């Protein structure tokens, strides 16, 4: 074998090793976008600007990692934006109006979110209504409920309470909420990649018939994933309340599509059975980075959706092409 052939074989082997890394496409996209953004505006990678991105990313990111689990199992949840508003409003009302201890109020708010997820899961799996329709209905129902309960007015919440500082304060100047985002991402990653339930989630979304044949409790897996995203949406909404000091009835509008967008950009396939938590983290950061660079550049805000739409198409195309090369 000639030296040229050996070099070619060596390069081909290295390429195969790189392509085996299932998050390689989103890594390439992230590096490319950050390079472009830095060239467009030198302020993008400054400490102050990165602090803004890190501070605001967790609220969407926490929901997105739950959405990843659910989509991998083969379902959707369009009600997360409404849960993001409704459950924290209940939390703030219990604390401020009824005098319930803020920690117990937070727990009750998360329980409300988990309950909403349970309802979505039961209707989807037991009644047989597609999750798109189920959660479209509950999205409208819970949004109407929070509007009715609030009469359109925000519910104040004390930002200086210990529980608020615990979830939305600063640790040596660093936003605590981003640490919680990483903590929950690690937990979900461990569950998805290293537990039987995670394996069940992949198989349930990839091939339902095979899952049933293998004895996997498909309905239970989907219901649990609905409950996980409901609880995470409630927690993410509570973090926003802690950060802003008020619960708003219009909070989370459009967040369901942004969460789905972050998972898709990160490599999660809407057909189910494929996706990663690491990819979703990068997808979330990309979405906020796009919004950030538009603000820095002084471009009209409506360009945000245009760029995100283009990035979704480019990202999915890259995932499909690299998956083809990997196969």
Per-residue pLDDT tens digits for 139-187: 999 999 999 998 888 998 988 899 999 999 888 888 999 999 999 999 9
* CA distances in angstroms from 248 to 222, 235, 327, listed in the order given: 30, 15, 47
Instruction: Map residue 217 onto helix, strand or coil.
Output: coil
Tell me how many helices (H) and strands (E) the chain has: 14, 4
Instruction: Give yes or no for a contact between 311 and 286, defined as CB atoms under 8 angstroms apart.
Output: yes
- Are 243 and 163 contacting, i.e. CB atoms less than 8 angstroms apart? no
* Percent above pLDDT 70 for the chain: 91
Q: Which residues contact 120 (CB under 8 A, 6 or more apart)?
A: 77, 79, 131, 134, 135, 138, 226, 230
- pLDDT tens for each residue of 177-223: 999 999 999 999 999 999 999 999 999 998 888 888 888 999 999 99
Q: Please give the distance of CA 174 from its chain centroid, rounded to a whole number.
A: 21
| β-strands 246-247, 174-175 pairing | unpaired
* Rounded-to-integer distance, Cα 9 and Cα 19, Å: 15
Q: What was the pLDDT predicted at 314?
A: 81
Sign of the C-alpha dihedral computed for residues 292, 270, 177 and 235 taken in this order: positive
User: In this predicted structure, what is the pLDDT of residue 10?
Assistant: 45
Helix (H), strand (E) at residue 61: helix 47-72
State mean pLDDT over 27-52: 87
Q: What's the pTM value of the predicted model, to 2 decimals?
A: 0.88
Q: What is the pLDDT of residue 198?
A: 93
Higher pLDDT, 105 or 50: 105
Distance in Å from the first CA to the final CA of the chain: 27
Asked if 156 contacts 92 with a C-beta cutoff of 8 angstroms, the reply is yes
Percent of the chain predicted with pLDDT > 90: 53
């Amino acid at each position: 074998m000639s030296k040229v052939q050996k070099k070619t074989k060596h390069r081909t082997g290295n390429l195969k090793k790189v392509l085996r890394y299932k998050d390689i496409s989103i890594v390439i996209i992230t590096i490319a976008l950050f390079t472009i953004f830095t060239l467009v505006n030198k302020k993008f990678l400054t400490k102050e600007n990165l602090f803004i991105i890190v501070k605001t990313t967790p609220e969407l990111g926490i929901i997105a990692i739950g959405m990843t689990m659910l989509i991998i199992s083969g379902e959707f949840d369009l009600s997360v934006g409404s849960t993001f508003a409704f459950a924290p409003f209940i939390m703030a009302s219990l604390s401020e109006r009824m005098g319930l201890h803020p920690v117990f109020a937070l727990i009750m708010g998360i329980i409300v979110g988990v309950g909403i997820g349970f309802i979505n899961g039961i209707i989807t799996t037991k009644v047989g209504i597609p999750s798109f329709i189920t959660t479209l209905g509950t999205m409208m129902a819970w949004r109407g409920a929070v509007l009715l309960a609030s009469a359109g007015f925000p519910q104040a919440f004390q930002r200086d309470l210990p529980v608020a500082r615990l979830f939305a304060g600063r640790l040596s100047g660093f936003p605590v909420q981003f640490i919680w985002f990483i903590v929950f991402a690690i937990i979900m990653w461990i569950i998805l990649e290293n537990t039987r339930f995670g394996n069940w989630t992949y198989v349930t979304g990839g091939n339902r018939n095979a899952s049933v044949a293998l004895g996997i409790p498909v309905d239970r897996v989907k219901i649990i994933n609905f409950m996980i995203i409901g609880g995470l949406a409630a927690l993410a909404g509570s973090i926003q309340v802690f950060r802003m000091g008020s619960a708003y009835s219009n909070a989370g509008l459009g967040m369901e599509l942004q969460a789905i967008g972050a998972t898709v950009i990160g490599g999660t396939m809407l057909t189910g059975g494929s996706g990663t938590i690491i990819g979703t983290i990068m997808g979330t950061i990309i979405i906020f980075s796009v919004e950030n660079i538009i603000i820095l550049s002084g471009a009209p805000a409506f360009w945000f959706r245009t760029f995100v739409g283009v990035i979704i198409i480019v990202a999915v195309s890259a995932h499909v092409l690299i998956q083809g090369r990997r196969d």
